[in-house]
Amino acid sequence: MAGSTPKKPKAAKASPTVSGPGAPVLLSGGNPQIAKGYGDAPVAAYIAAMPGWKSGVGQRLDALIVSAVPGVRKAVKWNSPLYGAGDDGWFLSVHCFTKYIKVAFFRGAALDPVPPHASTSGTTRYFHIHETDTLDEAGFTDWVVQASRLPGERL
């Protein structure tokens, strides 16, 4: 029609993506969709499905946690790996976002130093890892050891 403004194309909705046949679905933000499960296998599946640079960082975080906390318990719930020690609670989780990995310390407000990002829960604190960041492995390991000695979060 002459004189009419052309319609803008509708923005494509973000949809889950898959990196190959049989690969886990990546939810919005690139977080892998992994079935709930307990033990090393579901956590290893989550780490393997983390997109791009995040998988290597996920492997390193897992290795640091396993080394720092003998007998650490692992699970995937709500598409996030969880780590626990001692009781039936959890002290840490990992979650992928588009531009960073978020590590949640469920009792992080009690850590020294306190992880940098606050949560609305009051006690949870977050540590974000971006692609260009250099991980302070000693500092991270110290947080993991401290967190593993606190009462776990029941999820």
For residue 1, being part of any structural domain is answered with no
Token representation of residue 74 = 């692992």
Q: Mean pLDDT, to the nearest integer, of 21-49?
A: 88
Question: Domain range for residue 48?
Answer: 28-148
Number of domains in the chain: 1
Is residue 7, in this structure, part of any structural domain at all?
A: no
Determine the residue type at 124. T
Q: Is residue 11 included in any domain, yes or no?
A: no
Flag whether 93 is in a domain.
yes
In-domain check, residue 68: yes
The single-letter code of the amino acid at 114 is: V
CB-neighbour burial class of residue 60 (10 A; exposed 0-12, middle 13-18, buried 19+): middle
Inside any domain, residue 55: yes
Sign of CA dihedral 131, 63, 90, 34: positive
Among 81-90, 131-140, 142-151, the minimum mean pLDDT is found in 81-90
Residues of the chain with pLDDT > 90, as a percent, come to 74
Q: Read off the pLDDT of residues 52-107 as tens digits, 9 standing for 90 and up.
A: 999 999 999 999 999 999 999 999 999 999 999 987 799 999 999 999 999 999 99
Specify whether the CB–CB gap between 33 and 16 falls below 8 A.
yes
Task: Answer yes or no: pTM beyond 0.85.
Answer: no
CATH of the domain at 135: 3.90.1150
